[in-house]
């Protein structure tokens, strides 16, 4: 099966800011009434966030479930059953580092890789965008210290690139990513709020939920910094080409 990933830069779903992207996620599952599993680890299993997004995706035609990993004790067999029976897995925003640390301890990383290989749609925004990539530009330290710098967090490595969400809405993200990428030989995909990269196998396209949200290809080459708008077209293009300098 071809992997299916939708990484969203940000936006408030409760205000329907990401609605067009969310509709595409449901359509991407190719199911009449897809099973959507929400994993709110990064938000510390926030109850309000969970209630709101489950209702939201229910209204989009999904049957919904949640995987609490912090507030509830749950067996590995139950975790496995929830993850591998889902058609869509949506990961919340929040503390990426905290989430990745817990996921690795509980072997969620391995289960998500199994889900990826069976064609489950893997998606989310902010932390739920970063996690599918090799690395991400993360505000995880800011939860305890708002003055802390952004940090590089290691993701699941399903996409061979760096990821940066909120590229337009948090002004210091741009400065941080530019500096971070000087020490990284690869490509970063920077996503503005309401923009997403949709990946199907080894192809991609950029989608958005308004007319202005953009995605960028960020990299350094021969000591020159490049920030290139990624063209938004309806057809899927080569992901390997995108990730070349």
* Catalytic residue check, 166: yes
Catalytic residue among 43, 166, 176, 209: 166
* Catalytic residue check, 126: yes
Residues in Cβ contact with 91 at an 8 Å cutoff, skipping those fewer than 6 apart: 39, 41, 42, 99, 122, 123, 124, 127, 128, 131
Catalytic residue among 29, 43, 92, 126: 126
Residues in Cβ contact with 6 at an 8 Å cutoff, skipping those fewer than 6 apart: 21, 24, 25, 28, 121, 122, 123, 196, 197, 198, 199, 207
- 3: tokens are 């992997």
Spell out a b/e string for 139-167, using b for 16 or more CB atoms within 10 Å of the CB, else e.
bbbeeeeeeeebbbbbbbebbebbbbbbb
Contact in structure between 160 and 5 (CB atoms under 8 Å) = no
Active site residues: 126, 166
């Amino acid at each position: 099966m071809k992997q299916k990933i939708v990484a969203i830069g940000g936006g408030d779903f409760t205000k329907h800011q990401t609605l067009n992207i969310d509709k595409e996620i449901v359509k991407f599952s190719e199911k009449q009434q897809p099973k959507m599993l929400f994993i709110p680890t990064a938000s510390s299993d926030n109850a309000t966030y969970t209630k709101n997004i489950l209702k939201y995706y229910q209204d989009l035609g999904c049957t919904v479930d949640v995987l609490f990993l912090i507030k509830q004790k749950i067996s590995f067999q139950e975790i496995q059953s929830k993850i591998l029976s889902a058609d869509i897995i949506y990961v919340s925003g929040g503390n990426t580092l905290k989430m990745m640390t817990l996921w690795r301890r509980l072997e969620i990383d391995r289960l998500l890789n199994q889900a990826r290989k069976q064609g489950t749609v893997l998606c989310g925004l902010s932390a739920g965008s970063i996690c599918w990539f090799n690395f991400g530009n993360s505000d995880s330290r800011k939860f305890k210290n708002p003055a802390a710098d952004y940090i590089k967090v290691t993701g699941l490595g399903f996409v061979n690139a760096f990821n940066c969400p909120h590229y337009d809405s948090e002004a210091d993200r741009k400065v941080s990513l530019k500096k971070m990428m000087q020490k990284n030989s690869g490509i970063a995909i920077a996503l503005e709020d309401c923009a997403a990269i949709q990946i199907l196998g080894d192809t991609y396209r950029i989608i958005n939920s308004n007319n202005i949200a953009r995605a960028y290809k960020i990299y350094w080459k021969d000591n020159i910094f490049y920030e290139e708008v990624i063209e938004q077209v309806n057809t899927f293009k080569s992901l390997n080409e995108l990730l070349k300098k």
